[in-house]
Amino acid sequence: MQQADPSSPPSGSSPTARPTAERPGLSGLDRYFRITERGSTLAREVRGGLVTFVAMSYIVVLNPLIIGTVPDSTGHFLGGGTEPNLPAVAAGTALIAGLLSIFMGTWSKFPLALAAGLGLNAYLAYSVAPLPGMTWGGAMGLVLLEGVVILLLVLTGFRRAVFRAVPPFLKTAMAVGIGLFIAFLGLYNAKFVTTAAGTPVQLGNDGSLTGWPTLVFVTGLLLMIVLWVRKVPGAILIAIVVATGLAMLLERVLHLGAFTAPAGDDPGNPGGWAMNVPAVSGSVIQVPDFATLFTVDPVGGITAAGVIGASVIVFSLLLADFFDTMGTMVGVASEADLVDEDGDIPHSQRILVVDSVGAIAGGLGGVSSNTSFVESTTGVAEGARTGLAAVVVGLAFLASTFFSPLVAMVPYEAATPALVMVGFLMMSQINEIDFSDIEIALPAFLTIILMPFAYSITVGMGAGFIMYVLIRVVRGKAREVHWLMYLISALFIAYFLRGALESLLL
């Protein structure tokens, strides 16, 4: 399993540890979250929660830019009106993420935070909202329906049964693939690697490392590595804070501004910050606008898309939610050493229930389906092992509804080194996969490489599941495959072909 906080003993319970309830002198908070039992401390949980929040805080800025800038078929934007209302979308995004993360932490007692899911929000913005007759309320109504369906699948035990049917080596491959995925996410979001004309990606903006923001990223990453190797407590958080301070200094002196790509005769600003500009203008406190809340319209969504079309949309959202969460849960649990010898995870049913409620809450909040964030692994790498870290994340999100200028101050270049570092830690689990066995090696290989290459956790999982079933069948071992694996593989095939299905049915 992954190494824990460099200043702590191995994660999880020690061999001589007694159940928390039997230990005298522990606080109620410690007993409730089982902090000592899981080999953690209050300081590590708070620190881990803050690191996770910093790693996730970009969603408060990015989600409004995706779903808040696209009008529906009637020309209206989220929050109402014919002009974008980005502050309202940002406030709603932070509010729903905060409430759900607190729910996850207090009920499932697992260090997993939630927020509006990337990919799902883009699907709503560019494929659902523009459909003839569709409104943003109708689109969010379909998100609400998807959440209800997935919650029913959890309550009936189906979702947990699927998790148990997945072979242990595929669960390990998911964790490794997620590690590569988030490492690539960190490198790409910081513009350390970018898209290129002649190749899919390249180093920097022109095949080399240039620009002050790149210096901030490299400085943050190197500092993080040095502190981690030296076993300094809070290595990840310290590096993020230092990198943010350096970014603020550079912006104040050089006025770098935001990154813009060259276009035609316009040279753009390739030396600018990838997302958030590290500067605060005006007041750091703003009264939040929650205009997106409760604008949901399930009936309108079904009417606009039709029963068949709405079913395809709900199915597409459901399948991505269903398996992304499974992979993320495995990745976080593996990093925290919370997977037992049978491959199960504590309170996994509760985790799945909260995640399912996330889709419902996202629809009601008008901010797209909320799902578990793989960036939670950054907090786990900082030492978090319990739901208290998720509560800290939630409280930080709630505070950010008032302090959005401070949240927007941390640039990608300062936060994303944490994703690269955690990617390395998760990648080390690859030695648990037996690559000498072709029945294990090929499915694991596809799972691992397609997550970053296809930029999708779901795609990697689907390819691995399908390949596992195929190899078993052609080798005459069809009866050894759990029936749920056949069903899942069939659903993944439908998911991969959903574009063709939508063109036929919508």
Per-residue pLDDT tens for 469-479?
Answer: 999 999 999 99
Instruction: Please state, in angstroms and rounded to a whole number, the distance separating the CA atoms of residues 360 and 171.
Output: 27
Q: Burial, 279: exposed, middle or buried (Cβ in 10 Å; 0-12, 13-18, 19+)? A: middle
Amino acid 396: pLDDT: 95
> How would DSSP label each residue in 90-156?
HHHHHHHHHHHHHHIIIII--S--EEEPTTHHHHIIIIITTSTT--HHHHHHHHHHHHHHHHHHHHT
User: Mutual orientation of helices 58-67 and 86-103 as an angle, nearest 10°?
Assistant: 130
pLDDT tens digits, one per residue of 202-238: 888 778 888 899 999 999 999 999 998 998 877 887 8
The answer to whether 97 touches 115, Cβ cutoff 8 Å, is yes
Q: What is the pTM of this model?
A: 0.72
Cβ atoms within 10 Å, residue 429:
20
Give 111 or 20, the one with higher predicted confidence: 111
**For the chain, what percent of residues have pLDDT higher than 90?**
41
Percent of the chain whose pLDDT exceeds 70: 92
Which range, 122-136, 428-442, 451-465, is most confident? 428-442
Tokens of 407: 């949240």
Number of Cβ within a 10 Å radius of residue 364: 20
- Sorted by sequence, the CB contacts under 8 Å of residue 260 that are 6+ apart come out as 268, 269, 270, 272
d(CA 151, CA 238): 39
pLDDT at 10 over 50: no
CA distances from 404 to 353, 391, 483 (A): 29, 19, 48
Task: Map tokens 């930029």 to a residue.
Answer: 455
Q: What is the pLDDT of residues 359-396, one digit of tens each?
A: 999 999 999 999 999 889 889 988 999 999 999 999 99
Q: Which residues contact 224 (CB under 8 A, 6 or more apart)?
A: 235, 236, 239, 417, 418, 421
